């Protein structure tokens, strides 16, 4: 079950272990919206820091699922605090790779709750071989790629944006 999950990430080809999580996101053509948001939120310095961080990184397609105009509105300077809250909700302190995440789900009788840097929680569960991340509003995102190892943490790719309360 886990082998298919891990293969999805290792075949992406854009990650380099000697680069930090931001540098690796910059190298991904599927994360340009996330990179723009991180810059607009003033989080580049934080996320290039020592870490370690586990980043649940929504793709451009994930951001495109939000209501029309949402991303553009969030990128405005007057919405910086809201954008920071949303982005830091996608970050967990520590280095949680796919093996550790699946183990925590199994140990937790089918679910693992993690606290985000924003202060909220995300719940991870399994649906077959897929890891599902559920936010505090009940929205679900599927982890589509795992274990993008970086010098200061690990990235897992999400197909949807998760939102705090």
Name residues whose C-beta falls within 8 Å of residue 162's C-beta, 6 or more positions apart in sequence. 56, 58, 89, 90, 122, 133, 134, 135, 139, 141
The pair of three-digit structure tokens given for residue 98, joined into one six-digit string: 């796919």
**Residue-wise pLDDT tens digits, 97-155:** 999 999 999 999 999 999 999 999 999 999 999 999 999 999 999 999 999 999 999 99
pTM for this model (two decimals): 0.89
Distance CA 23, CA 162 (A): 22
**Residue-wise pLDDT tens digits, 89-111:** 999 999 999 999 999 999 999 99
Distance CA 95, CA 140 (A): 22
* pLDDT mean over 152-165: 96
Give the strands of the sheet with 121-127, arranged side by side.
Answer: 91-93, 53-58, 153-158, 140-150, 130-134, 121-127, 111-115
Distance CA 100, CA 98 (A): 5
* pLDDT mean over 26-50: 93
* pLDDT mean over 66-95: 96
């Amino acid at each position: 079950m886990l082998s298919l999950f891990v293969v999805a990430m290792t075949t992406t080809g854009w990650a380099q272990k000697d680069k930090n999580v931001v540098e690796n996101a910059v190298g991904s053509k599927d994360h340009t919206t996330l990179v723009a948001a991180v810059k607009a939120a003033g989080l580049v310095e934080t996320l290039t820091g020592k870490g370690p961080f586990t980043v649940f990184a929504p793709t451009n397609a994930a951001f495109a699922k939000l209501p029309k105009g949402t991303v553009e509105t969030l990128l405005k300077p007057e919405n910086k605090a809201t954008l920071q809250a949303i982005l830091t909700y996608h970050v967990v302190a520590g280095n949680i790779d796919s093996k550790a995440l699946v183990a925590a789900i199994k140990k937790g009788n089918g679910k693992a709750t993690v606290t985000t840097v924003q202060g909220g929680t995300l719940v991870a569960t399994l649906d077959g071989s897929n890891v599902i991340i559920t936010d505090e509003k009940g929205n679900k995102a599927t982890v589509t790629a795992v274990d993008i190892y970086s010098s200061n943490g690990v990235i897992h790719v999400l197909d949807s944006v998760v939102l705090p309360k």
